Every structure is written in C-alpha cells, then in structure tokens.
Amino acid sequence: MNVSQLNWDLVFITHEEAHPDMQDIIEDELAGLDEHITWYVELKRQDGLLIAVAEGKGLTVCETEDQFLNFIDPKLNSPCWDWLSGYSLQVIPQEDAGGCRMKEA
C-alpha cells in the first residue's frame, strides 16, 4: 500500500456570541474525518470574533490533494465548514514509509 504524508491547516472564523462552543464543534468534526490524522486546534478571540486555527498531520493512502478531498467530502457534515475561511493542504507521496506504515482496516 502506498502511503502519503498529510499536512492540513484550516482557519475557521465565526461570531463569538453565535457559537461560543466553536472549538468543541470543530474538534469533534475533525476527529471523525480520518483516524490517521492528529489534530491541534488553537482558538483566539478578536473583535467579537472567534478564530480557530486547526493543524492536522498524519498519513493517508491518498496520493493527491484532490483525491484526499474527494475521500473526506462525504464526511463533512458539521456546520463548522460554513465557518471555513481558508486552508492549506499538502499530500506528499512517500517512496517508502519504513516503520510508519498504516494498518489496513
């Protein structure tokens, strides 16, 4: 099985009074996308807005960014995706994953 390294940074912005539980909503959604991605979410408050920066790193069997986005698209059910302001996605195919091989489900 070919394995790729995944780096995914997301920025979510919403009004603080509308979604005070924004971080919990985002963390719950991201945790359900792919078990091979580890997420770190940082929340900031500025001018009545909540800004969440989520950094995801892990392994994927996808070989391109488009392939990965098509893989997760059916799983994007949370309203938090309406708050998505920007993202950066890198899928880097690896020649040999060595000891970091993914377990097949």
Does residue 17 form part of some domain? yes
48 domain residue, yes or no? yes
Give the pLDDT confidence score for residue 98 in this predicted structure. 61
Domain with 25 in it = 4-93
With respect to residue 99, please indicate whether it lies within any of the assigned structural domains. Answer: no
Q: What is the pLDDT along the chain (105 residues), one digit of tens a residue?
A: 688 999 999 999 999 888 889 999 999 999 988 888 999 999 999 999 999 999 999 999 999 999 999 999 998 988 899 999 999 999 999 876 566 555 554
Residue 99: strand, helix, or coil:
coil
We report the CATH number of the domain holding residue 34 as: 3.30.70
Is residue 103 one of the residues assigned to a domain?
no
What pLDDT does residue 34 have? 86
Quick check: is 85 in a domain? yes
Total structural domains in the chain?
1
Q: Where are the alpha helices (DSSP H) in the chain?
A: 22-31, 65-72
Rounded distance between C-alpha atoms, residue 58 and residue 38, angstroms: 6
Structural domain includes residue 62: yes
Is there a domain that residue 39 lies in? yes
